[in-house]
Amino acid sequence: MQPSAVPELAHTHTRPIHWLATATALAGVVALSSVLQPGAATAAQSAGPETKSAPAHLAPPDPAHVAFPLQCGPVKAVVTKRVSGDLDADGRPETVAAVHCDAPMGTPPDGVYVLTRAADSAAPRVVATLLDPEDGTTVSDLTVRDGAVTATLLGYSSADVPRCCPDVTTGAKWRWHNGAFVRSTPAGAHSA
């Protein structure tokens, strides 16, 4: 038994007129969509509860108003991460900031600083250095939880590793104890 022959269908062969008709239809749709635009959105805001700012002594210190102890030469210091919480249980929040020089190339090392303000002053100031930029590491994660600062630090296994590509990951944890921040390694932290 031989397969039956299917007659050739005329509409399966494209001709220049088909392409011209398709292009004309598409141009018409685009032109029509530019004329028919939706009206302006008019959503009414419902009156909600009034938000009050926290008193200056209860607001976390803003790192934008602090001179960090970094020697950056012609470039400026940049805050890359910031978290806040009450680290010394005095009822006022501190801010922890990861900061580095805004270098145009490479991976500049971070410093991690604790900021606070005196009860009688609104001006924030650096009160502790948790990580010195001289250590040559960068901070990929920074949190404050239950009065402790935790960070994921990226570093280098040797001087031969390019400064763009850290190859060591470690964890660090700092907690206020007897008037100073004490560093430890968080449980479950590992080097890669």
How would you label 74-85 residue by residue, b for 16+ Cβ within 10 Å and e otherwise?
eeebbbbbbbbb
The pLDDT value given to residue 76: 93
Of 109, 112, 170, the closest CA to residue 144 belongs to 112
The pLDDT value given to residue 186: 72
Whether 37 shows a pLDDT value over 70: the answer reads no
The pLDDT value given to residue 20: 66
Strand partners, 79: 99
Structural domain including 132 reads 63-184
Residue 132 resides in a domain: yes
Residue 99 resides in a domain: yes
Instruction: Render pLDDT for 49-100 as a digit per residue (tens, 0 to 9).
Output: 444 445 555 789 999 989 999 999 899 999 999 999 999 998 899 999 999 9
Average pLDDT of 119-141? 90
Residue 156 resides in a domain: yes
Total number of domains constituting the chain: 1
Average pLDDT, whole number, for the chain? Answer: 79
Residue 40 resides in a domain: no
Residue 45 resides in a domain: no
Residue 151 resides in a domain: yes
The pLDDT value given to residue 40: 45
Whether 7 shows a pLDDT value over 60: the answer reads no
**Residue that wins the pLDDT comparison between 152 and 35:** 152
Radius of gyration of the chain (CA): 30
End-to-end Cα spacing for the chain = 69
Residues near 156 by beta carbon (within 8 Å), at least 6 away in sequence: 136, 163, 166, 167, 168
Residue 111 resides in a domain: yes
Instruction: Render pLDDT for 147-191 as a digit per residue (tens, 0 to 9).
Output: 999 999 999 999 999 888 899 999 999 999 998 999 998 765 555
The CA distance from 106 to 84, in Å, is: 28
Whether 34 shows a pLDDT value over 90: the answer reads no
Residue 56 resides in a domain: no
